[in-house]
Structure 1
């Protein structure tokens, strides 16, 4: 699975913290001013400058991929506007992020960068970025993540009937695609002139790519999609997580090849196939085992529990019946009455210690006593088998596929809705849509 988007974004902020320092050291008179007004909030020139500097640092080794400065500012400003609108809507709907959640996320970011939180703070401040501002960024990204979850949960439902229909029609394709995407957006109710202009732009972009322009550079320069500044990279997705038209186009492409523009509901799209992963069967090793557990309680000390489990192991090795002793002494209420029988399960189902002992103990042997979070155990592996879980996996995949499709569509609709409802006045020189609601 791809790394959590929030962590990826924030780790990038850490790696690119130096540009923030440079922006903060610029003369104040260059940074003063408002570049956009939206509802009760504003975006300052200094904020835009910092974000532009971050993108420029990201492409420091390939600056030719970036569009002209004015176009880059427009794209970054659009991303800032959408971020602020989402944060504002999250606040309005009562979504809150506790300090403990921020601390937890900061700990994850630090761990991803092989440091502790104090080292992370020092790294941030050494490079000139305020720690308080970094925490604020974490807070806002967390709000947006929770807002998306709430919107998707309230609007997206997948029924068993939909799953059956998808499976019946052969709609679950196994394997994954890594795609690039460029979108030339059409406004709602676009006129014939607007459609013709968008199509001409899409065809010109496709021609430049055929003539040798890097696809990522073209996405940064021309795409209207939210991932434009990421070079149009959609990342790895299963066939069924993609719009069917995208998957159909990609299926006909060779790796590294891009397709001509195609018309979609919201504009024209150019797709590139970056990589492809073939499907594999879902073969799962399952274990059948039984165990006896003696819990550590206020009455039974750890030493007493260990002694009891060692005595029980000795009695079994001396010939007493495992199942009978499990019924009498095991504190695992779920298996004791079954003679300690745990049934068939995958290796990690009962935790890491039992998984470890399954590896170390042969079928028919009694394990050495071992301690887990639950208490002291002995374990007897009874059998192993390899099961083909492809059918179950396909059903789970169908549910995830339908959910992902609906989530992408519904959250896209939600973003368009909140933008249309907002008052946005853009004061960036040369930017289109100077004022008005949703402009």
Structure 2
């Protein structure tokens, strides 16, 4: 297994959750409708894990639908297409399989045995200029004025003093955050900056903010342990057995009319 992981180095793998609803030719339409309603409720904020425990017929229901990490090569063609362009923490529409409908939830994405740039940790500080007129929606003039006087680089220890000299209302720590946890617009700004670089200022309803990168920490890649691999294989085996059992029950079912 470890040898196979080495051979798959760099391939994407996905941390997935699932809700599986089986159907028969007689009730497929109703099951499809149920699956669509579940997807709609999850998109509106309902917890995926709770719905997986309540509705899923897969063995993973006991653990909130958790399928663990799965390499792209382990997924069938339809599933690969469904998850490849998904955003983290979103669900698919119901996917029709041979025995039922499957709803997939993407918890995370990474490359096998490779450092993912989105896992870099950034220690950030900020400078904030409050808007004199918070009701004004267009902050472009204010952003441009701050951009003209903002230096390209600031030592982390000098952020507060520099902010005061530039007339900022506030300055201080943001904390250490993973790049993947930042909003897309901030991620785009920060992903190529080095320690000491100042990001371009951004306008907000209440003013303008500029971020300073104090430190970048590269992600560490660790090979999975024996227990990690064993647990993943066991979960996959249980799920396959459960689906086979449900299939056999449907095939052998006898309806007794009295």
The two structures have a TM-score, normalised by structure 1, of 0.26
Computing the radius of gyration over CA atoms, which structure comes out larger, 1 or 2? Answer: 1
The two structures have a TM-score, normalised by structure 2, of 0.43
Higher relative CO (Cα under 8 Å, sequence separation at least 6) belongs to 2
Structure with more helix by fraction? 1
